[in-house]
Amino acid sequence: MTSILTSISSTKSFGGWIKRYQHHSSSLNCDMVFAIYLPPQAETRPVPLLWWLSGLTCTDENFMQKAGAQRMAAELGIAIICPDTSPRGLNLPGEHESYDFGSGAGFYLNATQAPWAEHYRMYDYLTRELPELVKAHFPLNGREAISGHSMGGHGALVLALRQPGRYASVSAFAPIANPSNCPWGQKAFSGYLGEDRSSWQQYDACALIASGASTQELFVDQGEADDFLATQLGADALQAACKQAGVPLLYRHHSGYDHGYFFIASFIDDHLHYHARHLKEAGQ
Amino acid sequence: MTSILTSISSTKSFGGWIKRYQHHSSSLNCDMVFAIYLPPQAETRPVPLLWWLSGLTCTDENFMQKAGAQRMAAELGIAIICPDTSPRGLNLPGEHESYDFGSGAGFYLNATQAPWAEHYRMYDYLTRELPELVKAHFPLNGREAISGHSMGGHGALVLALRQPGRYASVSAFAPIANPSNCPWGQKAFSGYLGEDRSSWQQYDACALIASGASTQELFVDQGEADDFLATQLGADALQAACKQAGVPLLYRHHSGYDHGYFFIASFIDDHLHYHARHLKEAGQ
C-alpha cells in the first residue's frame, strides 16, 4: 500500500531541489507534510538519505531554511529528509496550549495514553511508514543516517539505539539525552506514556545505552552557552552512560555557542562529512 | 553626535558574532533595529563592511537566518550589516495595509510626500546616519561594498550609482532595476515621491545609468524561474541601459531558480568572493 504524495512546492537549491509534500499518514491518522532535499546527483543515480529530526515548535521548514545544509549535501551527494515534529491538523484537548507538549512536540514516541495514543505515534511514522513512502517515490540507495537537534537529537539517538544496524551513523546537536530526568521530558513522557516510569526507558537515550541496546558510535555537538544545557539536556548523564556501557561517544563542546540554528549552521558541515563517510563505508 | 546603541542579542556564528542593536534614528524619527555580523578577524583587526539591503516584508533578520552567508564571511574576514527595510514603530495612515508599501517597503529613498516625508528617509539613514554610527562602534576599516535582493537589489544599485567611488563593489540578486516601469515601483514612487515622474529618476537604476551617474561594474544574479522576472524586475531594461551607457554588467541567469532565499543562498558565496576581491584591491 503506497500513500499518495501531493506536491506542495519544489525549489531549486545548490543545483538540487527542496521538495515539500503532503500525504495521509495511517500511523498518525492525519495529513502530514515533509520536505526532502534531493542533491544534483539524484538525477542520475540513487543517493543515501540523512534523516533530520527537528526540535520543539519546528516544522519541516526550519532546518531547510536555516541550517545551510544544502550546500554540503549537494557536494557530498546526500539527500536530507525533514519530517514534521508531531501530528498536525487535529484539535485534541490541550494540544495547542504549550510549546513543549502536543503539536510541535511529538517527542518521536508512540503514545499510550488517551487521547494521544490515537495519533501521536511518531516512532512508527518515522521508522516504518515514512521510510517506505520515500523509498517508493525517490531515487534512494537504501543507506540511511540520522541526526537531529534538541528534541530531535533525542529522537535521533533513540531511533538509532533501538534499531541497531539500521543507520550507518547517528549524530545530534544539543540532544535531550536523558528525558526521564528533565522537565521537558518528564512533562512529555507523563502525558504521552503515563506515570509508570518503566515505560519511559525505551525512549530515554541514557537508559537505552545502560541497557546495552547498541554500541554504535554517537557523535554529539553541544554549545557551552546553551541556556538549556544545565536543566534540560542531560549532557553529563549521556557522557557517563556511554563511558559506563563502553559506547564510543564523539562529544564536542563549543565555547560561546547557544541552542539555536546559528549553532547548528556553524557545525552542520562536520556532521554531513561524518555521515557521508559512514554512508560510503556502509555501501562497500 | 553619536547615537546610543542598545544591544538586543549577540549570537555566535562560525567563530564570529551576529549582533542586533536598537537605536534612535534622527533621519527616520523612530527607533530602529539592525544586525551586524562580525567575523572572527574583527577581534584582532579592523575589517571591511558589506551592506546587505533586503527585500519587501523583510527585517534585519531574514538574511542572517536564511542566506548562509556567515560561513564565507568568516573565511574572508568581511563584516555584514543588515539594516531594516523601513521605519518602524509608527502608525501612519495606511502604513501597515499592504506588503509592498509602507512598513517593510521603504524602497531606500527619501520621501517627499506627506505623511511619509517625516519618517521615510531610508536613503539618508543608509548613506549617512547608519554608516557613521557603525563606524563609531565597530572595528571597521572604512572599506565598504553593497549588495541586496529584489527591493534591496534596487537599493544597492541606486546607492552605488548615486555615490560613485564609495563602494568597492556592488552586486544584486533579482533587483527591481527599473522601478519607474513596474507595478511595485510605480506604487511606491507615487506614494513616497508624488506623481511628478522626473523626481523618480534619481531612484531608478536604469535612469541613473542612462544619465551617466557611474560607470562602476554591476554584478547581478537572476533566477530564470523567478515569478517576478517578467513583470517587476526590469532585467532586460537593465541590460539595455548598461550596454547603451557602456557600464560593465556581469549578469548571470540561473535555470530553475526562483525569487527566494534558497536562490540567494545558492550563490551568496560567489558574491562574497567578488566583494572580497574588490575590497582588498580598494585597500591597496
Digit-by-digit pLDDT tens for chain A (284 residues) are 455 899 999 999 999 999 999 999 999 999 999 999 999 999 999 999 999 999 999 999 999 999 999 999 999 999 999 999 999 999 999 999 999 999 999 999 999 999 999 999 999 999 999 999 999 999 999 999 999 999 999 999 999 999 999 999 999 999 999 999 999 999 999 999 999 999 999 999 999 999 999 999 999 999 999 999 999 999 999 999 999 999 999 999 999 999 999 999 999 999 999 999 999 988 77
Q: What is residue A282's predicted lDDT score, i.e. its pLDDT?
A: 83
What whole-number distance in Å separates Cα of residue B116 and Cα of residue B108? 13
Q: Does B68 touch chain A (CB under 8 A)?
A: yes
Q: How far is A224 from chain B (nearest CA, A)?
A: 11
Query: Cell triple for residue B236?
Result: 532586460
Which residues of chain A neighbour B260 with C-beta distances below 8 Å? 11
What whole-number distance in Å separates Cα of residue B140 and Cα of residue B132? 11
Which residues of chain B neighbour A11 with C-beta distances below 8 Å? 258, 260, 262
Of A9, A48, A53, give the one whose Cα is nearest residue B262: A9
Query: Cell triple for residue B17?
Result: 558574532
* Beta partners for residue B254, in sequence order: B223
Active-site position among A169, A226, A271, A275: A226
What whole-number distance in Å separates Cα of residue A157 and Cα of residue A66? 22
The answer to whether residues B195 and B146 touch, using CB atoms and an 8 Å cutoff, is no
Tell me chain B's radius of gyration from C-alpha atoms.
18
Q: How far is A166 from chain B (nearest CA, A)?
A: 31
Tell if the CB–CB gap between B265 and A14 is shorter than 8 Å.
yes
The answer to whether residues B192 and B112 touch, using CB atoms and an 8 Å cutoff, is yes
DSSP summary character for residue A4: P
Query: Cell triple for residue B39?
Result: 567575523
Q: Does A13 touch chain B (CB under 8 A)?
A: yes
Which residues of chain A neighbour B71 with C-beta distances below 8 Å? 68, 265-266, 269
Residue B198 annotated to the active site: no
Q: Give chain B's end-to-end CA distance (angstroms, integer).
A: 31
Active-site position among B150, B169, B171, B214: B150
What whole-number distance in Å separates Cα of residue A55 and Cα of residue B105? 33
Tell if the CB–CB gap between B266 and A14 is shorter than 8 Å.
yes
Which residue, among B9, B10, B13, would best test binding to A if mutated, counting the most A CBs under 10 Å from its CB?
B13
What whole-number distance in Å separates Cα of residue B73 and Cα of residue B37? 8
Which residue, among A11, A12, A221, A226, would best test binding to B if mutated, counting the most B CBs under 10 Å from its CB?
A12
Q: Does A68 touch chain B (CB under 8 A)?
A: yes
The answer to whether residues B142 and B226 touch, using CB atoms and an 8 Å cutoff, is no
Q: HEC profile for chain B?
A: CCCCCEEEEEEEECCEEEEEEEEEECCCCEEEEEEEEECHHHHCCCEEEEEEECCCCCCCHHHHHHCCCHHHHHHHCCEEEECCCCCCCCCCCCCCCECCEECCECCCCECCCCCHHHCCEHHHHHHHHHHHHHHHHCCEEEEEEEEEECHHHHHHHHHHHHCCCCEEEEEEECCCCCHHHCHHHHHHHHHHHCCCHHHHHHHCHHHHHHCCCCCCCEEEEEECCCCCHHHHHCHHHHHHHHHHHCCCEEEEEECCCCCCHHHHHHHHHHHHHHHHHHHHHHCC
Maximal C-alpha separation, chain B: 51
Burial of B210 (0-12, 13-18, 19+ CB in 10 A): middle
Which residues of chain B neighbour A261 with C-beta distances below 8 Å? 65
What whole-number distance in Å separates Cα of residue B165 and Cα of residue B204? 19
B198 C-beta neighbours (distance < 10 Å), count: 8
Which residues of chain A neighbour B65 with C-beta distances below 8 Å? 65-66, 261
Residue B196 annotated to the active site: no
CB within 8 A of B230, min separation 6: which ones? none
Q: Does B18 touch chain A (CB under 8 A)?
A: yes
The whole model's pTM is what?
0.96
Query: Cell triple for residue A152?
Result: 530531535
pLDDT in tens, B129-168: 999 999 999 999 999 999 999 999 999 999 999 999 999 9
CA dihedral (B134, B140, B145, B147) positive or negative: negative
Q: What is residue A3's predicted lDDT score, i.e. its pLDDT?
A: 59
Which residues of chain A neighbour B266 with C-beta distances below 8 Å? 12-15, 70-71
Q: Does A15 touch chain B (CB under 8 A)?
A: yes
Residue A271 annotated to the active site: no
Of A178, A173, A190, give the one whose Cα is nearest residue A262: A173
What whole-number distance in Å separates Cα of residue A117 and Cα of residue A101? 14
Nearest CA in chain A to B12: A257
Q: Does B71 touch chain A (CB under 8 A)?
A: yes
Query: Cell triple for residue B42?
Result: 574583527
Q: What is residue B1's predicted lDDT score, i.e. its pLDDT?
A: 45
Q: Does B70 touch chain A (CB under 8 A)?
A: yes
Q: What is residue A1's predicted lDDT score, i.e. its pLDDT?
A: 45
Tell if the CB–CB gap between A265 and B14 is shorter than 8 Å.
yes
Q: What is residue B234's predicted lDDT score, i.e. its pLDDT?
A: 98
Q: What is residue A64's predicted lDDT score, i.e. its pLDDT?
A: 98
Task: Name the B residues in 183-222 with CB < 8 Å from any A CB.
Answer: none
Query: Cell triple for residue A193?
Result: 506514556
Which residues of chain B neighbour A223 with C-beta distances below 8 Å? 12
What whole-number distance in Å separates Cα of residue A230 and Cα of residue A226? 8
Q: How far is B14 from chain A (nearest CA, A)?
A: 5
Positions in chain B short of pLDDT 70: 1-3
Task: Name the B residues in 124-163 with CB < 8 Å from any A CB.
Answer: none
